């Protein structure tokens, strides 16, 4: 009997170059986290992009998965540098924002990055960096 596993992340490409990624409250497994990392690693194939990552509902990410993600970022650094305009992360919790900011201070992301409290703040920042690139979206 095959069971369908809830995805760790839901990707929405309907507003390219803006890519919406919604992290779910699913239990994080090697499979669904691997699927997430693999899809993030392939976004560059769609051209220049900016990510709106909503981490509002995500659960604690185990060290082995954080290492997997860090290794994927390192492996794909050139693609991220060339194709990513930036990434805004929505993290409503003060603790979550502090942890993310500390992580990216130690290991900088290869393009512009902003950790935000709200979706409104994240979209405002995204619109500003897209404007610098002379790119408009419908958000």
Q: Domain boundaries in the chain? A: 9-132
pLDDT value, residue 3: 55
Choices 3.20.20.70, 3.40.50.300, 3.40.1190.10, 3.30.750.24: CATH for 9-132: 3.30.750.24
Show the tokens assigned to 8.
């760790």
Q: Which residues of the chain have pLDDT under 70?
A: 1-4, 137-139
pLDDT value, residue 104: 86
pLDDT value, residue 138: 61
pTM: 0.90
């Amino acid at each position: 009997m095959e069971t369908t596993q809830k995805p760790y992340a839901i990707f929405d490409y309907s507003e390219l170059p803006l890519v919406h990624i919604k992290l779910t409250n699913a239990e994080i497994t090697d499979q669904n986290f691997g699927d997430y990392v693999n899809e993030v690693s392939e976004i560059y194939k769609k051209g220049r992009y900016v990510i709106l990552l909503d981490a509002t509902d995500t659960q604690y990410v185990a060290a082995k998965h954080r290492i997997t993600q860090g290794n994927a970022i390192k492996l794909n650094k050139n693609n991220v540098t060339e194709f990513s305009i930036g990434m805004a992360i929505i993290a409503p919790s003060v603790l979550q924002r502090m942890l993310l900011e500390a992580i990216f201070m130690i290991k900088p992301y290869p393009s512009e990055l902003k950790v935000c409290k709200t979706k409104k703040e994240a979209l405002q920042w995204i619109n500003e960096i897209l404007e610098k690139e002379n790119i408009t979206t419908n958000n």
